[in-house]
């Protein structure tokens, strides 16, 4: 966004809480942290030189490699002079008279700006649940989303890990290799696909680079922003042999392409059950202890309704002597004691506890900033019952405020780099449009916004996504309203809608 606006001759300043660039890839430094979208696709397309120069080394890039990439981008385009690090933004107030925002920074100073763009990320507000007794616990504690920069040595320790989402699935096998004992506290079993990560071959890199522009365009108009193969036929009427063959091929290929095996897996429960059954069968084949296997296969929601995880030796790790799985459904955590964790059935002495407990997703980082718009109205109050946006880009009553991959856009249900670039382009063009016409402000019309919110909800309601207590729905944060936040209509379809809004002179936006 900085690069886009600077190229259009705007004065831009970026404020960043961390002491380096990278966002998610700056904070999530836990062992095993890796992207679940393939590296050649999970990268910027805005510069042909950049995409030709940069050499990804693995099918799925590790956190250190992605962080190196983002630092390279910052240097290559000379972005650092306009990025102010170690500067959290605490509040933003809109003044109707001047049509300017006053942004309050962590050090008490303020800046004014015509436009404020929240590039705050969907998964950047790490969350430690409030367990009784936690403050009295004497061991060490870590959160995967706020990992110490100089690493953590767990060798020889008894380590507890709470949470088995994407982060837990990645960190557990590596901790188990170092720690004396690893106790995994699982509330909801996930579905984990083998990543089948491997070094990228010179031939594969060359083939993609030779065709990069075309492949990027294909991803932009796809369902989820990747080059995944999606078969356009339902599992409901497919012969069992074909179903088995596709799933076996998907399992062997690795990654989450398996959900593209049939076109009704996200909408038809019985079709989804065929995939769930297949995956449970694989887990049972891997995990030797029958109780552990049962706990790992007790999913009570459709595949994909909680984010599918990619792992390397995840299920195999539960065959290790030094790993124990605790089923929190059978024995919930009562509290922390000074020595460890106490469940309703036992006390587990632990020298360190890793919280892989996720984030206040989608809205957490936006609402952490105390934002006041027209007439002093508060965004926190306006969104108390769930986020209200038009296209996930802006909210009525908050002129000249934009969200990159905000709630109500495909965001986390897409290759987020594709979605980020689309929003950056759209916002950049809209701001240029206003400047050209000498317009001081823009904001969604309430009617257009509410129609969009209804459309986002209707689209989700037609799928199986509402059948899980997921962070997509805010269900992981006690008291958070249950509203399905990402837009499920597909990346290409969403792009077309945004382009139509632009072509229709920003239909649904009131400018003045």
In the complex, which residues of this chain contact ligand NA7 (CB under 6 A)? Answer: 123, 129, 144, 162-168, 187-188, 307, 328, 356-359, 412, 471, 476
Q: Which is nearer to ligand NA7, 358 or 387 (CB)?
A: 358
CB of 369 to ligand NA7, least distance (A): 21
Token readout for 440 is 């001081």
Q: Which is nearer to ligand NA7, 27 or 247 (CB)?
A: 27
Burial of 467 (0-12, 13-18, 19+ CB in 10 A): middle
CB of 28 to ligand NA7, least distance (A): 8
Ramachandran region, residue 36 (left: φ > 0; alpha: ψ -120 to 50; beta: rest): alpha
CB of 193 to ligand NA7, least distance (A): 13
Strands 352-355 and 347-349: unpaired
CB of 124 to ligand NA7, least distance (A): 10
CB of 1 to ligand NA7, least distance (A): 21
CB of 249 to ligand NA7, least distance (A): 24
CB of 27 to ligand NA7, least distance (A): 11
Q: Which is nearer to ligand NA7, 166 or 449 (CB)?
A: 166
In the bound state, the residue with its beta carbon closest to ligand NA7 is 165
Assess contact for 184 and 323: CB atoms under 8 A: yes
Q: Is residue 199 classed as helix, strand or coil in its secondary structure?
A: strand
Q: Which is nearer to ligand NA7, 287 or 413 (CB)?
A: 413
Give 29-76 as a DSSP string: -STT-B-SS-TTTSS--S-HHHHHH----BSS-BHHHHHHHHHHHHHH
Give 406-459 as a DSSP string: -BTBSGGGS-HHHHHHHHHHHHHHHHHHHHHTT---EEE-HHHHHHHHHHHHHH
CB of 168 to ligand NA7, least distance (A): 5
Give 367-388 as a DSSP string: HHSEEE-GGG-BHHHHTTTS--
Contacting residues for 242 by C-beta, under 8 A, at least 6 apart? none
The Cα-based distances of 348 to 173, 329, 351 in angstroms read 20, 16, 10
Backbone angles phi, psi at 342, to 5 degrees: -115, 125
Q: Which is nearer to ligand NA7, 348 or 359 (CB)?
A: 359
* CB-side neighbour CA atoms (13 Å) of 348: 28
Strands 309-311 and 192-194: parallel
Strands 401-403 and 116-118: parallel
Q: Which is nearer to ligand NA7, 124 or 441 (CB)?
A: 124
Distance CA 393, CA 402 (A): 5
Q: Which is nearer to ligand NA7, 130 or 237 (CB)?
A: 130
CB of 188 to ligand NA7, least distance (A): 3
Q: Which is nearer to ligand NA7, 243 or 473 (CB)?
A: 473
CB of 307 to ligand NA7, least distance (A): 4
Contacting residues for 74 by C-beta, under 8 A, at least 6 apart? 21, 80, 83
- Cα diameter, the chain: 69
CB of 386 to ligand NA7, least distance (A): 18
Q: Where are the alpha helices (DSSP H) in 234-313?
A: 240-253, 269-286, 290-296
Distance CA 177, CA 350 (A): 16
Q: Which is nearer to ligand NA7, 91 or 345 (CB)?
A: 345
Q: Which is nearer to ligand NA7, 123 or 369 (CB)?
A: 123
Q: Which is nearer to ligand NA7, 208 or 279 (CB)?
A: 279
Distance CA 423, CA 122 (A): 14
Distance CA 409, CA 389 (A): 9
Q: Which is nearer to ligand NA7, 143 or 388 (CB)?
A: 143
CB of 477 to ligand NA7, least distance (A): 9
């Amino acid at each position: 966004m900085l690069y886009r606006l600077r190229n259009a001759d705007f004065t831009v300043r970026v404020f960043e809480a961390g002491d380096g660039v990278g966002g998610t890839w700056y904070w999530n430094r836990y062992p095993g942290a890796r992207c679940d979208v393939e590296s050649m696709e999970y990268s910027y397309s805005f510069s042909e030189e950049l995409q030709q120069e940069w050499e990804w080394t693995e099918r799925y890039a590790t956190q250190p490699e992605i962080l190196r990439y983002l630092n390279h981008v910052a240097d290559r385009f000379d972005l650092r002079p306009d990025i102010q690090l170690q500067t959290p933004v605490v509040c933003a107030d809109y003044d109707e008279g001047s049509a300017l925002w006053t942004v309050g920074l962590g050090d008490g100073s303020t800046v004014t700006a015509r436009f404020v763009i929240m590039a705050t990320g969907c998964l950047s507000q790490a969350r430690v649940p409030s367990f009784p007794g936690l403050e009295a616990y004497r061991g060490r504690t870590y959160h995967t989303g706020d990992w110490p920069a100089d690493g953590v040595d767990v060798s020889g320790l008894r380590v507890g890990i709470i949470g088995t989402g994407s982060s837990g699935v990645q960190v557990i096998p590596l901790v188990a290799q170092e720690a004396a004992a690893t106790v995994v506290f699982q509330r909801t079993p996930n579905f984990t696909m083998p990543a089948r990560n491997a070094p990228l071959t010179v031939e594969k890199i060359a083939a993609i680079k030779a065709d990069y522009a075309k492949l990027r365009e294909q991803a932009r108009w796809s369902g989820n922003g990747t080059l995944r193969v999606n078969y356009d036929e339902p599992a409901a009427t497919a012969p069992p042999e074909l179903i088995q063959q596709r799933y076996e091929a998907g399992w062997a290929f690795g990654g989450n392409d398996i959900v593209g095996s049939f076109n009704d897996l996200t909408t038809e429960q019985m079709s989804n059950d065929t995939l769930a059954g297949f995956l449970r069968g694989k887990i049972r084949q891997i995990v030797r202890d029958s109780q552990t296997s049962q706990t790992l296969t007790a999913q009570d929601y459709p595949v994909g309704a909680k984010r599918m995880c990619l792992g390397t030796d995840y299920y195999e790790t539960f065959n290790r002597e030094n790993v124990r799985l605790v089923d929190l459904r059978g024995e919930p955590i009562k509290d922390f004691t000074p020595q460890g964790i106490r469940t309703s059935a036992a006390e587990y002495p632990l020298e360190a506890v890793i919280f892989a407990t996720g984030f206040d997703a989608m809205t957490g980082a936006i609402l952490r900033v105390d934002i006041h718009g027209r007439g002093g109205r508060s965004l926190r109050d306006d969104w108390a019952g769930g986020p209200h946006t038009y296209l996930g880009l802006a909210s009525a009553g908050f002129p000249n405020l934009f969200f990159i991959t905000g709630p109500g856009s495909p965001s986390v249900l897409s290759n987020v780099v594709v979605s980020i670039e689309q929003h950056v382009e759209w916002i950049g063009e809209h701001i240029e449009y206003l400047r050209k016409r000498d317009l001081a402000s823009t904001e969604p019309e309430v009617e257009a916004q509410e129609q969009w919110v209804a459309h986002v909800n209707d689209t989700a309601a037609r799928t199986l996504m509402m059948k899980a207590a997921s962070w997509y729905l805010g269900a992981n944060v006690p008291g958070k309203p249950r509203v399905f936040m990402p837009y499920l209509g597909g990346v290409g379809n969403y792009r077309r809608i945004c382009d139509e809004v632009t072509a229709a002179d920003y239909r649904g936006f009131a400018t003045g």
